[in-house]
Amino acid sequence: MTSSKLSMLARIERFPIAGTFTISRGAKTEAVTVVAEISRDGLTGRGECVPYPRYGETPEGTLGALQAMQDAIAGGLTRKALQTAMPPGAARNALDCALIDLEAKTADVRAWNLLGRPVPSECTTAYTISLGSPEAMAAATAKAAHRPLLKIKLGGDGDEARIAAVRKAAPESELIIDANEAWTEANLERNLAACAAVGVTLVEQPLPARQDGALARIKRPLAVCADESVHDRSSLAPLRERYDAVNIKLDKTGGLTEALAMADAAQALGFKIMVGCMVATSLSMAPAMLVTPQARFVDLDGPLLLARDRDHALRYDGSLVYPPDSSLWG
């Protein structure tokens, strides 16, 4: 008996954010995701992505890129062939994760067994505090001060005051700072010193990508992590003098297949690993859980920032996040 052809459906979905999510590039009140569903013989694999305007992606453009792959999918596109058929980015992520989900369902195994990776266990995720005034950020931080790991969004001018206010509001939490490319060479060392003074563990992407050479010319008082400066394996080697860690996001790598290969390569080069996310549902977080066994920092709090998640969501117990049930993904 021969298998039927693969078929795909793709759509844009919207999920309201609880309040407003603000970073240095702006604020938003909803998470806009694109979902791909690939089906064969009564089984369906799903993948979710978040198009990122920082990289010129839009929901409509991403949906169009997925729909343009219909014929290739019907022709039996494999996950290996997908890696060269599409460039890294959100659209390929949705397809890659959908194909893995379908492969796991077809083989009746969990995705980590299918891919030969360690079984993920529950882990502590960061919880994000949006950019605002020092007073507003301190108030938001105080409400989350029971969480062991906080990720603080900064934005340039006034960041020293924000750093001090946040630390005062959460004296016991481990802090990660994410500047989202908002610092400059002029304030870099001053802001890093302010972070070091209050015991911040990690600073993420302080300078704009491709304008971050100053990081190699200074003595860094704490670990600095690349986000916008790093995408897939090809971008790793040039960053060794500037960064101590890399943030692996499936929407940047173009899927879990490349993310796992990138994690292996990053470890071999001596980078610490953060596994990160966009603001999205549990369907986006589930594949990223397979990277967590290699990660020093886990930042998979997207669903915690939503007013509602999708059905069969990941289990969150405070800041602990648990591996997905197969009814969600994988």
- The average confidence (pLDDT) of the chain is 95
For residue 151, indicate whether it is catalytic: no
d(CA 148, CA 126): 8
Computed on alpha carbons and rounded to an integer, the radius of gyration of the chain in Å comes to 20
Residue 1 has pLDDT above 50, yes or no: no
In the CATH hierarchy, which fold is given to the domain comprising 7-114?
Enolase-like; domain 1 (3.30.390)
Kindly tell me if the per-residue pLDDT of 152 is higher than 80.
yes
Same topology for domains 7-114 and 123-321, yes or no? no
- Locate all alpha helices (DSSP H) within the chain, ordered by sequence: 59-67, 70-74, 79-85, 90-107, 111-115, 134-143, 159-169, 185-197, 250-253, 256-268, 282-288
Residue 21: predicted pLDDT: 75
CATH ID of 123-321, from 3.40.50.450, 3.40.50.2020, 3.40.50.720, 3.20.20.120: 3.20.20.120
Mean pLDDT of 23-34: 81
Q: Is 153 a catalytic residue?
A: yes
Mean pLDDT confidence for 260-285: 97
Q: Indicate the pTM of the whole model.
A: 0.94
Eight-class DSSP state of 306 = B
Q: Which of 153, 168, 252, 272 is catalytic?
A: 153
The single residue of 28, 143, 151, 249 carrying the catalytic annotation is 249
| Mean pLDDT to the nearest integer, 89-102 | 98
Work out the average pLDDT over 220-242: 95
Is 290's pLDDT higher than 80? yes
Asked if residue 50 has pLDDT above 70, the reply is: yes
Domain extents in the chain: 7-114, 123-321
Q: How much is the average pLDDT of 125-131?
A: 95
pLDDT at 24 over 90: no
